[in-house]
Amino acid sequence: MFMRIAVLFGLSFLFVAGSIAVDERFGVAQAQAPARTTPPAATTPAPLPPEKPAIAETKDKKESLPAKLLFAAKQLPSLGKAMAIGYYPRGCLSGGVPLPVTGPTWQVMRVSRNRNWGHPSLIRFLEKFSPLAAKATGWKGILIGDLSQPRGGPLPYGHTSHQSGLDVDIWFMPMPARVLSNDERDKLAFVNLVAEDWKQLDPKTWTPQHVNFIKTAAEQPEVERVLVNAAIKQELCRVEKKPAWLAKVRPWYGHHDHIHVRLKCPADSPICRAQPPVGGEDGCDKKALEFWFSDRVLNPPKPTTPAKPPRQITMADLPPACKDVLAAPARQVNQARGN
């Protein structure tokens, strides 16, 4: 009985709160109107959202939670040896290290996401690549997007891979000569290099420097793949005469405003799963590219029924070592977060 009264009281409170909010939206005139006896449908309060699952639950419950929630909750890397674990879209990162958000020839974008963590080989790669890219393009430096979360793992939004500390997105925009504020790094918009029909490049934004930028990334021996939009790959095939590095540059959805660089499994990471290496094919034959410009990709038919959301990755889907990474104590790292 008490519960029932409490529930009724709670509901009427919500109803009153809802009415006030609605009246305030309409200003004083609405507030002075005679009190209604029955509310219009719009003022009926929405049901309360379900409570967020508490992360410190029993072991069984933790197993069934989406792993992205567990990994996103970790603000610091795990204590322990640096290791890339599992596969790029099914793994995690032990002993992750941060890329400083501002370097001589780079700036990290979207700093507030806390995704500037990687395996030490990825940090070393970026420190080496950024001055090389600057030299090859004449840019002041590069703008770096997401690497991984402090302990890697699935991400709550934005990427399927980037889980094992070996993937990084790098923007197609030159770094400005000045240090960007954190607010600018969060808000600055990308430049799209591809035309509206998604079949060719946009001559207003595409430059020959972009060829040098992509080439410099793909030429590095530790790089496994460089993903770009198909229109960009098509242009590289047109202007470059079958160089070996072109095989590593692969078309993928999106990637019209950034390249995605993926490193090979490092020698110190025995349970890192390698991606099959690209063969000798440069991927420039008509058939390989045609698919990307087909209606299937560019104008897919709208599904008649709403698509079922994909199944969430749980801890059981990840290598068992990822449980240890999640449970490990944190390594305290003082990051300079820009300005």
CB closer to Zn ion, 74 vs 115 = 115
Interface segment toward Zn ion; rule CB under 5 A; list 85-93, 167-175, 189-197, 217-225: 167-175
Give the residue carrying structure tokens 């997105």.
169
> Cβ of residue 1: shortest distance to Zn ion, in angstroms?
57
Task: Tell me, by CB under 5 A, how many residues bind Zn ion.
Answer: 2
> Cβ of residue 117: shortest distance to Zn ion, in angstroms?
14
Q: Is 32 left (phi over 0), alpha (psi -120 to 50) or beta?
A: alpha
Interface segment toward Zn ion; rule CB under 5 A; list 22-30, 168-176, 244-252, 286-294: 168-176
CB closer to Zn ion, 215 vs 225 = 225
> Cβ of residue 32: shortest distance to Zn ion, in angstroms?
55
CB closer to Zn ion, 143 vs 315 = 143
CB closer to Zn ion, 159 vs 185 = 159
Q: Are strands 117-118 and 106-108 parallel, antiparallel or unpaired?
A: unpaired
> Cβ of residue 260: shortest distance to Zn ion, in angstroms?
4
> Cβ of residue 89: shortest distance to Zn ion, in angstroms?
11
> Cβ of residue 328: shortest distance to Zn ion, in angstroms?
26
Q: Tell me the C-alpha to C-alpha distance, in Å, between residue 162 and each of 90, 145, 224.
A: 9, 11, 14
Q: Is 115 in the site for Zn ion (CB under 5 A)?
A: no
Kindly tell me which residue out of 91, 117, 169, 216 binds Zn ion, with binding defined by CB under 5 A: 169
Residue number of the CB atom closest to Zn ion: 260
CB closer to Zn ion, 152 vs 323 = 152
Binding mask 254-283 for Zn ion (x = CB under 5 A): ------x-----------------------
Q: Which residues bind Zn ion (CB under 5 A)?
A: 169, 260
